[in-house]
A and B are shown apart, each in its own frame.
Chain A
């Protein structure tokens, strides 16, 4: 529980390449990363490892992002969730927002935007927790 303990980020995406890239980027910025390739595995990871924040794609096989967020909110209302949207104005983003998410990262956008979003959310969250 020391201050130097790395923040744990859960990256959920069915595309292994993207998962790997985002993981590499986050690790290079000093985060610890765990991954899942669908909503079901994401729930297992949350239950097992209690990540601090989660990036989750909406389109996935087995259990998609929306279903996963719904299920996660059943047992965890605290976890900050950033959804990964594949394209601008994906209609499912609206649906996801209604289940309580902290931000939206556009897949085609810059990783830097994703990082600054992550940092902002984590700061806000810390303040709320206090």
Chain B
């Protein structure tokens, strides 16, 4: 019995010793914060970490119900650990979620920024490219705003105009420039026609010819916000043009000179000024002269073409009855028509007034039309020349109708173009020409203020019609 008592006492002492040791340990562990006083070690102490406070509160509460302090502490610790773990896990999870959200926002933002940057770089590159293109094109380029102030001018234009960009941007092109022709570049009318500008170089007094193609720049509302002009140096081209014209004129003259001498000689012989002729001699000389006239006509066409191209074709009007011109043409072509047994018929309306025409030029038109008609009409046909009032007596209508092979529909629109010759049946080996007769005819009629056109069906003959306005008086 006494030994049992001893065991009890000993166990109690050991328990107390362990409890003291634990208290001591707890005290030491609580001394993380050295200023913490043991008396204040209460669950409400705000200086303690939350988990510690929680543990204390739990310890206190459990201590009220649990038997031993140590057990209550163990339970408390266990509960606290569970809570803390749960809490930490929640916190970690929240942290992770937040971080992920934040990262996705950041990455989206970066992505957008990258796109914007790429776009910006692309635009800058494109701008540089465009500028490089504008800088390096051989044609001059000038852009002016609605006030006529220069917005952009490329090096080619600086060179062509003899100005520098620094001096011109923001100013009108014509400032400090005497050349009035340039005004058209900055002020110009809104028509898109090309203009030719002549400049005299400041350095060496040479003349420069520029072609300016100007277009109006409009914004999306259709308001004019400026003009862009493309300048090209056509000095060389102009020189070549005039050289060519001079050459053609000269060659034509040289070609014609001997022809005139031959023609005059033949005329003198044929008119028997140099003595009598046998019938055969007369016949052959007539053939020679007829062909000579054809040759002359071809050469005249060439000369006319050069004038036409140079815009130098002129008409010298005289008051004259159209009948005279028609009769003259019939007289000159009658022999040829007769050789094909083609009748040249004339139908002139009564009381036609005199018209203001260039008789030589109009005879040229009619000779061409009647000549074509005779060419393309088979033997025994008929060519009718008609003159009448049209458009309520405001104009004179002259027409040449044949009974020939007609013109294919595909040829009709092109028939008045330069060098155009119809294909197919109209290409008969003995029927040839320069292919410019009708384009010259058109030009002459238009110089008289009239119109020319053709009506035809294949195989039904052709009818060429032109009008001459009657100048009221």
Which residue in chain B gives the minimum CB-CB distance to A91?
B312
Quick check: is B265 within 8 A (CB to CB) of the other chain?
Answer: yes
Quick check: is A89 within 8 A (CB to CB) of the other chain?
Answer: yes
Q: How far is the CA of A91 from the CA of B257 in the complex (A)?
A: 18
B308 CB, min distance to chain A CBs, angstroms: 12
Q: Which of A38-46, A66-74, A104-112 contacts B (4 or more CB under 8 A)?
A: A104-112
Pick the contact of B303 from A15, A24, A87 — CB < 8 Å?
A87
Quick check: is A98 within 8 A (CB to CB) of the other chain?
Answer: no
Which residue in chain B gives the minimum CB-CB distance to A14?
B257
Quick check: is B16 within 8 A (CB to CB) of the other chain?
Answer: no
| Interchain CB contact under 8 A, B273 and A59 | no
Chain A contacts of B252 at CB under 8 A? 87
B316 CB, min distance to chain A CBs, angstroms: 6
Quick check: is B260 within 8 A (CB to CB) of the other chain?
Answer: yes
Pick the contact of A21 from B256, B268, B303, B313 — CB < 8 Å?
B268
Pick the contact of B260 from A24, A59, A91, A107 — CB < 8 Å?
A107
Q: How far is the CA of A86 from the CA of B260 in the complex (A)?
A: 9
| Interchain CB contact under 8 A, B316 and A89 | yes
Pick the contact of B264 from A21, A28, A88, A91 — CB < 8 Å?
A21
Q: Which of B253, B264, B267, B268 counts the most chain A CB atoms within 10 A?
A: B264
Chain B contacts of A91 at CB under 8 A? 312
Quick check: is A95 within 8 A (CB to CB) of the other chain?
Answer: no
A113 CB, min distance to chain B CBs, angstroms: 12
Quick check: is A25 within 8 A (CB to CB) of the other chain?
Answer: yes
Quick check: is B263 within 8 A (CB to CB) of the other chain?
Answer: yes
A36 CB, min distance to chain B CBs, angstroms: 18
Chain B contacts of A86 at CB under 8 A? 253, 256-257
Residues 304-341 of B at the A interface (beta carbon under 8 Å): 312-314, 316
**Given A18-B264, A89-B316, A25:B256 Cβ within 8 A:** no
**Given A86-B256, A87-B253, A89-B314, A108:B267 Cβ within 8 A:** no
B366 CB, min distance to chain A CBs, angstroms: 15
Which residue in chain A gives the minimum CB-CB distance to B293?
A108
**Total interface residues on B, using CB and 8 Å?**
23
| Interchain CB contact under 8 A, B267 and A111 | yes
| Interchain CB contact under 8 A, A108 and B296 | yes
A 64-92 binary contact with B (CB < 8 Å = 1; else 0): 00000000000000000000001111010
A 37-60 binary contact with B (CB < 8 Å = 1; else 0): 000000000000000000000010
Residues 11-34 of A at the B interface (beta carbon under 8 Å): 15, 17-18, 21-22, 24-25, 28
A5 CB, min distance to chain B CBs, angstroms: 23
Q: How far is the CA of A68 from the CA of B314 in the complex (A)?
A: 26
| Interchain CB contact under 8 A, B253 and A15 | no
A25 CB, min distance to chain B CBs, angstroms: 6
**Given A15-B257, A87-B253, A111:B316 Cβ within 8 A:** no
| Interchain CB contact under 8 A, B265 and A21 | yes
B307 CB, min distance to chain A CBs, angstroms: 8
Q: How far is the CA of A25 from the CA of B274 in the complex (A)?
A: 9
Pick the contact of A18 from B260, B273, B296 — CB < 8 Å?
B260
Query: Interface residues, chain A, CB within 8 Å of chain B?
Result: 15, 17-18, 21-22, 24-25, 28, 59, 86-89, 91, 107-108, 110-111
* Besides the known contacts A15-B261, A21-B268, A24-B274, 11 further A-B residue pairs in the complex with CB atoms under 8 A apart: A17-B258, A18-B260, A24-B268, A25-B264, A89-B313, A89-B314, A89-B316, A91-B312, A107-B256, A111-B267, A111-B268
5 A–B contacts, CB within 8 A, in A order: A18-B261, A24-B274, A86-B253, A87-B303, A107-B260
User: Can you list the 9 inter-chain pairs with the closest CB atoms, starting with the nearest?
Assistant: A17-B261, A21-B264, A28-B273, A89-B314, A107-B260, A88-B360, A18-B261, A108-B260, A86-B253
